[in-house]
Structures are given as C-alpha cells and as structure tokens.
Amino acid sequence: MDFSRYLKQYPDADGRFGKYGGAYLPEQLIPAFKEITHAYQTICHSSDFINELRRIRKEFQGRPTPVYHCKTLSRKLGSCQIYLKREDLNHTGAHKLNHCMGEGLLAQFMGKKRIIAETGAGQHGVALATAAAFFGLDCTIYMGEVDIAKQAPNVARMKILGAEVVPVSTGLKTLKEAVDAAFEDYLQNYETTIYCIGSAVGPHPFPMMVRDFQYVVGVEAREQFQEMMGFLPDVVTACVGGGSNSIGFFLPFVNDPVDIVGVEPLGRGKEMGDHAASMSYGTEGVMHGFDSIMLKDAEGNPAPVYSIASGLDYPSVGPEHAFLRDVGRVKYEVASDEDAVDAFFKLSRYEGIIPALESSHAVAYAMKLAKQMGTGSILVNLSGRGDKDLDYVIDHYGYGEKYADFD
C-alpha cells in the first residue's frame, strides 16, 4: 500500500478506515454527530483555530515536549539505544490533554457552552475538566460510584477545576454505566453540549479528530529525533488502550522505513477477563458506536477486561489501528502486568523518570526488543507520568528492590 497520501485518504467521508470505523448511532444523535463533523472539517482549516491551538500548546501545555536518550537503561541492555518522547511532561502529566484542549477549542468555536464525558480512573475526566476551566465551559463528568471511591485524588482535582462529578449508581457502578449515563445526558442536551470522547474510539468523527489532535506528538518526535541523530529511529512504539497516544505518535512515521509497534496489556495472562489485548485476541464487531476489533464474551457482548494500568483496560481499540494492522503497516505485541512493573521500576531507578503504568508497557516492550536487536534505535512514546500510580505500586510491589537488577 502507498502511504504517501494516507492522511488525505483515511478516513473516507463516512468515517471508515477500510471496513472499520463508521458511526452506529441512535436515530436522534445522527444530526448531532453530523454537526460536529461538519464544524470540525470547516473549523480545523481556519487560521484562527490553528493559531489558537498552537498558542495553547506552547503557552499552556508546555509543548513541544522533549525527546530524551536513555543512556543508562540502553547500556544495561546492550548496544541498541532507547529514546523517549516525553509526553509525561505535558501539562497535567499525560498526552490526554492534547485532544481535550482540541475538543474544548472546537466546542468554543461551535458556540457550545458545555462539555461532558464519562471517566473510569479519572484521567480523562481531569484532562477534560482542565480544558473546561481554560475555555470557561461548564463541565459534567459521569463516574461510577465504585470508581469514585477508588480515585479520590482525581475526583478532588475535577471538583477543584470546577467540574461537576456525577456519581453513577446503576449496575456495577463503573465505567460502562458511566458511558450510558453520559450518552443519556447527551441525548437530552446535544444542542448546548459536546460529548468529548477520551480516546481515538467512538463514532465518526471522534477517531479522526482525536488522531488529528494527537498528531503533533509524532510530528515533534520525528523532527526532534532527526535533528538529534541525523536519521530516523528503526522502531517506534507506544502503548495501546483505545489508541490515542499511539495513533498520533505513529502516523507521522507511516510513510518512512520505520517499524511501528503498538503494545497491548496482557495483564495476568491470556484467559478472558485477565487481559485487555483486543488486537491480539479479539475479533471484528461493533460496540460503542463503531466497527473495530473487540474482545467478546460467549454471548457476543463486550468481554470483561483487566490490566494493572486502568487507562488500558478497554475491550476494543480505535478503528484506525485495526485497519493499519490489516494492511500490515503496524504490528501489535503485548506486555504483561509483570513486564510493565519491571519497566516502571527500571526506568525510575536508572533514568530518574517515573512512568505511568500504561506507558510502562511500551517501555517494557522496548527493553525486550532492544536486547533482541542488539543495535539500532527505538523511540518510545512515554504517554504519561507515574505519580498517579505510586500508591497502588507501593502497596503491591513495595519500592521495587527485586526489580533493580538486569538479567
């Protein structure tokens, strides 16, 4: 396949990446999503929008984030060199703000007064509440009661940022019920409100918009690496939950002679319910309004999923990833909880960077690959910082003495 005009060709007018993607919506919401698509396709070409987004990225988010060479970690593994794109240094500590600021700016340009979303662990909620505060928009975040109890610091952040956090007490009181509640709200309020999806998933135009807003990560990284080294990396890699940090990081390399690898969470193992490696173990299906690869139970419903990294435990994946795998451009590998924890401690101890457990999956894969390759270079998207994970990690793994050594 020829990738030289890839971005212009995909998705098509119906939001399709090959057979994946699209928009499977209740009748009443079709006009609302069409309105967003139309507005985005107009606004994203306006110089006011582009200039404002640039200013926000520079002055508010602190972009560009640097590319960093992990000298010590690389030396411990052999001669292959590992580099990090430091999205952990983005304001609020992860890549999610890249698309939330874009979604907030779009809401402002469309004259909407309110943005809403669901959140699981609270990371998307905090990023969206940050954008709402910046743009002076009302913000409502739906969150299951079980998650609220587990994620007190993120709930506090959202409230301090001025968002309303609505506890959802139906069903299992977690993410799925929060999604339903947010959709319900959107059905009532789509004239004043945008429902901001938290990854490169959901009905068209969200996989495309979120990708476009994350694209800056890969553009910067490619330029920075080239400037630093005079050539491109042999491999680029990132963790894949819904697929937002990875898609934005990957696409600027899609027409280069560079291997691209997404890393999914293997959790505790291959059994259903123990992992969230949709691409590795899933099949095609439709859920949450789009066609992609998904993990299904015996009845064909979304399967239970698990990962130590709550940002990765989603039973499907963005449709563009499914497409890029089918055409053979991106490969998908897995890293387990144990691999991720090992990488978490090693990157902390040998480079002074405490990574998010999500990002640790990509670091783990890079460490394994570096040993195999023996030479060359790997550029990893470090999607976020690990402060949010410290309590959990210390409770379960202490201070990581047993992960200090390389074997």
- Selected from 84, 97, 158, 312, the binder of ligand PLP by CB under 6 A is 312
Question: Could you identify the residue written with the tokens 């703000």?
Answer: 97
Is the omega angle on the peptide bond into residue 257 within 30 degrees of 0, that is, cis?
no
Q: Which residue is nearest to ligand PLP (CB)?
A: 384
Distance CA 283, CA 285 (A): 6
User: Who's near 33: CB < 8 A, 6+ residues apart?
Assistant: 23, 25, 203, 204, 205
Minimum CB distance to ligand PLP, residue 94 (Å): 4
Distance CA 364, CA 263 (A): 9
Minimum CB distance to ligand PLP, residue 356 (Å): 4
- Selected from 102, 233, 243, 252, the binder of ligand PLP by CB under 6 A is 243
Minimum CB distance to ligand PLP, residue 384 (Å): 2
Nearer to ligand PLP, 104 or 248 (CB): 248
Residue 22 touching ligand PLP (CB under 6 A): no
Minimum CB distance to ligand PLP, residue 129 (Å): 14
Run of H or E including 266: strand 259-267
Tokens (6 digits) for 2 = 């020829």
Distance CA 146, CA 355 (A): 25
- Selected from 140, 209, 383, 389, the binder of ligand PLP by CB under 6 A is 383
Distance CA 198, CA 400 (A): 31
The active-site residue out of 44, 91, 95, 124 is: 95
Q: How does strand 377-382 pair with strand 20-21?
A: unpaired
Residue 123 touching ligand PLP (CB under 6 A): yes
Do residues 265 and 277 lie in contact, with contact meaning Cβ atoms separated by under 8 Å? Answer: yes
- Selected from 384, 389, 393, 403, the binder of ligand PLP by CB under 6 A is 384
CB atoms within 10 A of CB 8: 6
Do residues 316 and 20 lie in contact, with contact meaning Cβ atoms separated by under 8 Å? Answer: no
- Selected from 241, 267, 282, 289, the binder of ligand PLP by CB under 6 A is 241
Residue 67 touching ligand PLP (CB under 6 A): no
Distance CA 368, CA 338 (A): 13
Give the residue among 330, 401, 22 at the shortest CA–CA distance from 201. 22
Given the rule CB under 6 A, which of 179-187, 237-245, 287-295, 334-342 is the region that contacts ligand PLP?
237-245
Do residues 239 and 247 lie in contact, with contact meaning Cβ atoms separated by under 8 Å? Answer: no
Given the rule CB under 6 A, which of 1-9, 54-62, 216-224, 234-242 is the region that contacts ligand PLP?
234-242
- Selected from 94, 197, 216, 340, the binder of ligand PLP by CB under 6 A is 94
User: 95 catalytic, yes or no?
Assistant: yes
User: 38 catalytic, yes or no?
Assistant: no
User: Residues 355 to 374: which contact ligand PLP by CB under 6 A?
Assistant: 356, 358-359
Nearer to ligand PLP, 240 or 369 (CB): 240
DSSP class of residue 65? P
Angle (CA) 221 385 338, round 5°: 105
Minimum CB distance to ligand PLP, residue 230 (Å): 29
Nearer to ligand PLP, 207 or 373 (CB): 207
- Selected from 92, 108, 151, 199, the binder of ligand PLP by CB under 6 A is 199
- Selected from 32, 101, 240, 276, the binder of ligand PLP by CB under 6 A is 240
Minimum CB distance to ligand PLP, residue 31 (Å): 27
Minimum CB distance to ligand PLP, residue 46 (Å): 27
User: Who's near 14: CB < 8 A, 6+ residues apart?
Assistant: 21, 22, 23, 204
Run of H or E including 265: strand 259-267
Active centre residues (catalytic): 70, 95
Residues near ligand PLP (CB under 6 A) are 94, 96, 123, 199, 239-246, 311-312, 356, 358-359, 383-384
